[in-house]
Amino acid sequence: MSERDELLESIANTISSYREDEIDWPDAAHVDRWASQFSPNNQEFFLREFDHVIKQTFFTRGRVASFLERLITNQGLAGDDPFDYWSKA
C-alpha cells in the first residue's frame, strides 16, 4: 500500500464519526475526491499534514461522550452527589 493510500485510509478512519447517520460513511475514495481539489503536486504533502493535525484535533463521538461522562461525575463540579446536583441544575 502506498503512503497516499495509507493516508487516505487513516483520514477516513479518523473522521468516520463525522455527521454519522447524516451522510455516507467517509471512505478512502471520499477523502481522495476531497483532496483532488488541491494541485496534484501538493496533495500528498497536504494529506500527510492533515492526517497529523486531524488526529490531534478531531473530536469523535466517543471522545466527546467520554469527556461528558467524566464531567457529569466530576466531584469538583457536581460535588459528592452528582445526581442531586444535576437534578437541580
Contact of 11 with 50, CB cutoff 8 Å: yes
DSSP designation for 24: P
Domain ranges of the chain: 1-58, 59-89
What's the pTM? 0.69
First to last CA, the chain: 53
Contacts of 4 (CB under 8 A, 6+ apart): 43, 44, 47
User: What distance in Å separates the CA atoms of residue 56 and residue 35, rounded to the nearest whole number?
Assistant: 19
| Strands annotated E in the chain | none
Contact of 86 with 42, CB cutoff 8 Å: no
Binned average pLDDT, 10 residues per bin, the chain of 89 residues: 95 83 81 94 95 92 90 94 93
